[in-house]
Amino acid sequence: YRKMATLSVCQPQLGGFSFENCKRNAVLEAEVTKLGCNVPSARKTGTTICGVVFKDGIVLGADTRATEGMIVADKNCSKIHYISPNIYCCGAGTAADTEMTTQIISSNLELHSLSTSRLPRVATANRMLKQMLFRYQGHIGAALVLGGVDCNGPHLYSIYPHGSTDKLPYVTMGSGSLAAMAVFEDRYKQDMEEEDAKRLVRDAIAAGIFNDLGSGSNIDLCVITKGRVDYLRPHDMANKKGVRTGNYKYKQGTTGVLTKSVIKLDLEVVEETVQTMDTS
Amino acid sequence: MCAPVIPRSLAKNTRGLRSQLKDSVPVTGMGPQVGAYGVQDTLRSGFSSVKNELLPSHALELSEKNFQLNQDKMNFSNLRNIQGLHAPLKLQMEYRAARQIQRLPFLQSSHLALDTLKGNDESISFEDILNDPAQSEMMGEPHIMVEYKLGMM
């Protein structure tokens, strides 16, 4: 502790990321792999997320499975994150990274809109996200589909973990992005109606769910138009757990009762205590 | 928690560390901290080890350490090109004045004036969420910190 205390004398303490343990972690990882065990992996959202621009606004869609290696960690996680009342963002990649990144950008956008006293624009959120992701050189594994409606109309961006962005009428991200993109490339038309757009996004996410192991469970949709946001969770339960058809329980009375004897145990109450649960 | 000397038994595993860092070039920003008389200040920063000092432990370590400085440099040079030399000079004078409004070094000061000038009061980033210095479990020695600040040490 003496060294750490003296270090804090010379340099002022700053917040933010601390890289103190990186060397120790590298040494530990080498030791662990030598023994043959595995280092625990981060929880990813091997995912299908997509978005499409239609006549009056944006439809965003996402599946709801979160994986941890080969195991499903969360059967119903929410991948469409709130950024501002008119902007929502789907996140693929490391689950914690997408969650924290979208929360930080949402806070920054709120402060910014309070200071300009205007509804925030999608381009602002896009610029904040890409500058932050580039600053961390891709170590923050967050691939995002950002969509919203502002004073200039509907906008849809896709943002990659290293900080590059694309502004397109339809985008898909995640491990199931190829399956979803195949559906989009076949059936996308400019200026669709809302119902057509919702059906298209639902089919694209369903293609990702059924053809990609990393995506599954339900389909969430978010429809953003000028002045209205419909957050449909779940829009479609594509994978319902089946109901058991057979019943292996025996009926009452299957086994005949031959004799019955009742022995009464005399117990007296010695002590009674009540422990309240800490429900705060 | 003692000095960063790798014991002999772990030295064999340096291959693991090296293979991860094989793309990184030894950089000068990580050199041994020189104290007075131009040598390693063993009393203050413990024993030194070349491997620890020369190679950064993470690809982002250096860029994050200097991020704020580089941003400020870029902004000031932009300002100088657009508005002339007076603009960055005036701003730096105000920063220097605002930086002096703080408590003694071992106490947490809010840096409110400095933050308002720099515009940090309108943004949230990882510096505000992670590793908040106000929540740190370690406190520096008050006497030593004040002596260091006043240049008596």
Among A2-16, A73-87, A213-227, B42-56, the minimum mean pLDDT is found in A2-16
Q: Is A9 in CB contact (< 8 Å) with chain B?
A: yes
Annotated active-site residue in A45, A47, A102, A124: A47
Pair type for strands A49-53 and A142-150: unpaired
pLDDT digits (tens, 9 = 90+) for A230-269: 999 888 887 777 788 888 888 888 888 889 999 999 888 8
pLDDT (tens, 9 = 90+) of chain B, 153 residues, equals 444 444 444 444 444 445 445 555 555 555 555 666 666 666 656 666 666 666 777 888 888 888 989 999 999 999 999 999 999 999 999 999 999 888 888 888 888 999 999 988 889 988 888 888 888 887 778 888 888 888 775
pLDDT digits (tens, 9 = 90+) for A142-181: 999 999 999 999 999 999 999 999 999 999 999 999 999 9
Q: Taking CB atoms and an 8 Å limit, are A3 and B52 in contact across chains?
A: no
The number of angstroms, rounded, from the C-alpha of B119 to the middle of its chain's C-alpha atoms is 20
How would you classify residue A149: left for phi > 0, otherwise alpha for psi between -120 and 50, otherwise beta?
A: beta
Of residues A270 and B140, which shows the higher confidence score?
A270
Check residue A21 and give its pLDDT. 81
Q: Taking CB atoms and an 8 Å limit, are A3 and B46 in contact across chains?
A: yes
Q: What is the 3-state secondary structure (H, E, C) of B104-145?
A: CCCCCCCCHHHHHHHCHHHCCCHHHHCCCHHHCCCCCCHHHH
Task: State if pTM tops 0.90.
Answer: no
Chain B, window 103-132: residues with a beta carbon less than 8 angstroms from a chain A beta carbon: 105, 122-132
Check residue B151 and give its pLDDT. 77
Going along chain A, which residue ranges are E strands? 44-45, 49-53, 57-63, 66-68, 71-74, 80-84, 87-94, 142-150, 153-159, 165-167, 170-173, 219-225, 228-236
Q: Taking CB atoms and an 8 Å limit, are A9 and B127 in contact across chains?
A: no
Check residue B12 and give its pLDDT. 43
Q: Chain B: residue nearest A132 by CA?
A: B125
Of residues B108 and A53, which shows the higher confidence score?
A53
From CA A206, how far away is CA A48, in angstroms rounded?
9
Check residue B6 and give its pLDDT. 43
pLDDT digits (tens, 9 = 90+) for A209-220: 999 988 888 999
Q: Taking CB atoms and an 8 Å limit, are A136 and B61 in contact across chains?
A: no
Tokens matching residue B25: 């070039």
Q: How far is CA A256 from CA A93, A143, A252, A261, in A?
A: 60, 64, 10, 15
> Cβ distance A89 to A83 under 8 Å?
yes
Among A22-26, A185-189, B114-118, the minimum mean pLDDT is found in A22-26
Is the ipTM higher than 0.85? The answer is no
Q: Is A13 in CB contact (< 8 Å) with chain B?
A: yes
> Cβ distance A235 to A219 under 8 Å?
yes
Of residues A11 and A213, which shows the higher confidence score?
A213
Which residues of A are less than 8 Å from B128 in CB distance?
A: 15
Residue among A77, A231, A2 at smallest CA distance from B138? A2
Check residue B52 and give its pLDDT. 62
Name the DSSP letter for residue B28: G
Name the minimum distance, in Å, from the CA of A39 to any CA of chain B.
14
Q: Taking CB atoms and an 8 Å limit, are A27 and B10 in contact across chains?
A: yes
